[in-house]
């Protein structure tokens, strides 16, 4: 189990940055500095610490909640957007915590989307369910998501009744949510599972009179016959039941049966590995990492925290060959960049206008780069997490230009959020080890912003050609010192700021900035 053994050495700044890029939406310089020298176990413990449930989104006009009110047809588009801006800002303001990244992971796993569900209250409740169970018990999670109003509507569970079972959810429960398409389940297993799941329905959908939304089990629409499964599930028979508890009792039996199959914990561990570590799972990784991780999952009664702790503090995770193996998703790129430069959404109870201005801008950049939050295009999730090529799907002829457009808008300081520019490159440069030395400046900036350590030839190119545009290095030292002595001199300030801006624009557009 060497690959899964704990990495015990104190982490370098580069290792801290790598861990936070994968486990969160990117580090801030202060976080890198504060956590350097700590062990993976110490940082992962912080990443997995429980977080308080966030306050619900507010209506910009009234500063009151709307998820708990009757459905508002006239404002449904606005409120749907507010839910997305709210989630975007939770990602932006996240502490050193795995919660938001796992919430996004599960939204790509237990997929629903707002285009199909079409009730903003349902989507808010779905998001709160994802974050409630994101780091909890997997079986409890599946039981809860099966009854979630958005899921019941998205995969037609509300239409699944005795006599005319709808197989949509039963199929995806096995193919995508638990055992996986290679798990060996049969079409008869899909039909039997659909019968187990008959009788559930959502309540309160787009109800403009009564506020509560929920789900309910209708015993009179449940198939009470025994359900027999294939050899994949050891020819298990789930006994048909009657009464108000029949649906939940049979659902528990169904999940126990699926979880007994060795392939189920392995499938979930592969999904976590693909999301957080690498898209390539050769036989050696399957045997020496995925399977031991799956055994740990089962040993801990399908609790997620022990699995995630083992993954993020493993020897394998800190293999330097894995750095740069993941292309940043739009959320990683946009939110990670904003976080690095210190952008935070204000408290909406203090400045709700700025709160939604920031959420709107960040969400719009993520959406245009083809990761519309709460709206994956299919039940398989976002294309980059299931198509051939995996993360490479995030980069295409459209999104590559939009990624550059996003970073250019930040470096030119034309963009103002909450009344100020996002990037203050001069203030940041002053925090580096020796801003007077252009080589050290480039070394410090690339070490903090890039996943891969550059070789000397690359650093020299960035220093002499990109930053200095062929000027001798001593010229930078003179110009920087002149600026520091005369910070209000516009010409001296512009001399260094233009060079730094050009350097940042170039760095942001490199392939190396697109990976983590």
Distances in whole angstroms, Cα of residue 96 to Cα of each of 21, 42, 106, 195, 514: 11, 12, 19, 43, 22
pLDDT at 1: 52
Contact 410, 337 (CB under 8 A): yes
Q: Which residue has the tokens 């959420």?
A: 359
pLDDT > 70: percent of the chain:
100
pLDDT at 388 exceeding the cut of 80: no
pLDDT tens column, 356-372: 999 999 999 999 999 99
Instruction: Please tell me whether residue 297 adopts helix, strand or coil conformation.
Output: helix
The arithmetic mean of pLDDT across residues 15-21, rounded, is 98
pLDDT tens column, 185-209: 999 999 999 999 999 999 999 999 9
| Rg of the chain on CA atoms, in Å | 25
Computed over every residue of the chain, the mean pLDDT equals 97
Q: Is 209 exposed, middle or buried (0-12, 13-18, 19+ CB in 10 A)?
A: exposed
Confidence of residue 387 (pLDDT cuts 50, 70, 90): confident
The arithmetic mean of pLDDT across residues 272-278, rounded, is 97
Domain ranges of the chain: 136-261, 426-514
pLDDT at 430: 97
Tokens of 416: 């103002």
| Residue 487: half-sphere exposure toward Cβ, Cα within 13 Å | 4
pLDDT tens column, 231-243: 999 999 999 999 9
CA dihedral 339, 342, 347, 352 (to 10 degrees): -90
Instruction: Please tell me whether residue 295 adopts helix, strand or coil conformation.
Output: helix
pLDDT at 412: 84
pLDDT tens column, 113-138: 999 999 999 999 999 999 999 999 99
| Residue 383: half-sphere exposure toward Cβ, Cα within 13 Å | 13
**Distance (Å, whole) CA 506 – CA 383:** 28
**Distance (Å, whole) CA 90 – CA 97:** 11
The arithmetic mean of pLDDT across residues 277-296, rounded, is 97
Cα 198 to its chain centre, rounded Å, is 32
The arithmetic mean of pLDDT across residues 340-351, rounded, is 96
Give kind and range of the element (H or E) at residue 203: strand 200-203
């Amino acid at each position: 189990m060497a690959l899964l053994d704990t990495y015990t050495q104190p982490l370098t700044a580069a290792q801290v940055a790598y861990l936070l890029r994968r486990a969160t939406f990117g580090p801030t310089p202060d976080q890198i500095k504060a956590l350097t020298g700590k062990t993976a176990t110490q940082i992962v413990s912080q990443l997995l610490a429980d977080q308080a449930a966030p306050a619900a989104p507010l209506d910009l006009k009234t500063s009151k909640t709307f998820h708990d009110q009757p459905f508002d047809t006239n404002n449904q588009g606005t409120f749907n957007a507010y839910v997305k801006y709210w989630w975007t800002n939770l990602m932006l303001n996240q502490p050193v915590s795995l919660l938001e990244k796992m919430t996004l992971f599960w939204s790509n796993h237990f997929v629903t989307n707002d285009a199909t569900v079409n009730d903003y209250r349902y989507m808010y409740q779905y998001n709160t369910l994802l974050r409630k169970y994101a780091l909890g018990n997997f079986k409890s999670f599946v039981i809860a998501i099966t009854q979630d109003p958005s899921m019941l509507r998205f995969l037609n569970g509300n239409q699944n009744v005795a006599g005319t079972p709808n197989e949509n959810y039963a199929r995806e429960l096995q193919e995508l949510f638990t055992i996986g398409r290679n798990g060996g389940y049969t079409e008869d297993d899909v039909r039997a599972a659909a019968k187990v799941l008959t009788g559930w329905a959502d309540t309160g959908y787009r109800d403009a009179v009564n506020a509560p939304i929920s789900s309910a089990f209708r015993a009179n629409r449940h198939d009470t016959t025994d359900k027999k499964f294939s050899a994949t599930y050891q020819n298990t028979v789930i006994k048909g039941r009657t009464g108000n508890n029949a649906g939940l009792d049979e659902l528990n039996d169904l999940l126990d049966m699926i979880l007994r199959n060795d392939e189920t914990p392995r499938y979930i561990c592969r999904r976590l590995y693909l999301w957080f570590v690498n898209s390539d799972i050769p036989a050696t990784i399957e045997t020496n990492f995925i399977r031991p991780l799956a055994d740990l999952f089962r040993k801990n009664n399908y609790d997620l925290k022990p699995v995630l702790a083992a993954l993020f503090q493993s020897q394998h995770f800190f293999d330097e060959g894995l750095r740069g193996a993941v292309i940043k998703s739009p959320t990683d790129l946009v939110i990670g960049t904003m976080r690095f430069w210190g952008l935070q959404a204000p408290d909406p109870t203090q400045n709700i206008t700025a709160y939604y201005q920031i959420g709107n801008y960040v969400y719009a950049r993520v959406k245009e780069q083809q990761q519309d939050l709460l709206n994956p295009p299919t039940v398989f999730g976002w294309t980059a997490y299931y198509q051939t090529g995996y993360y490479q799907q995030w980069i295409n002829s459209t999104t590559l230009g939009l990624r550059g457009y996003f970073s250019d808008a930040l470096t030119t300081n034309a963009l103002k959020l909450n009344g100020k520019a996002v990037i203050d490159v001069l203030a940041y440069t002053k925090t580096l080890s020796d801003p007077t030395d252009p080589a050290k400046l480039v070394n410090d900036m690339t070490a903090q912003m890039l996943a891969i350590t550059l070789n000397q030839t690359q650093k020299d190119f960035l220093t002499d050609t990109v930053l200095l545009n062929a000027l001798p290095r001593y010229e930078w030292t003179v110009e920087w010192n002149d600026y520091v002595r005369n910070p209000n001199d516009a010409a001296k300030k512009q001399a260094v700021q233009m060079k730094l801006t050009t350097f940042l624009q170039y760095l942001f557009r490199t392939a190396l900035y697109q990976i983590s």
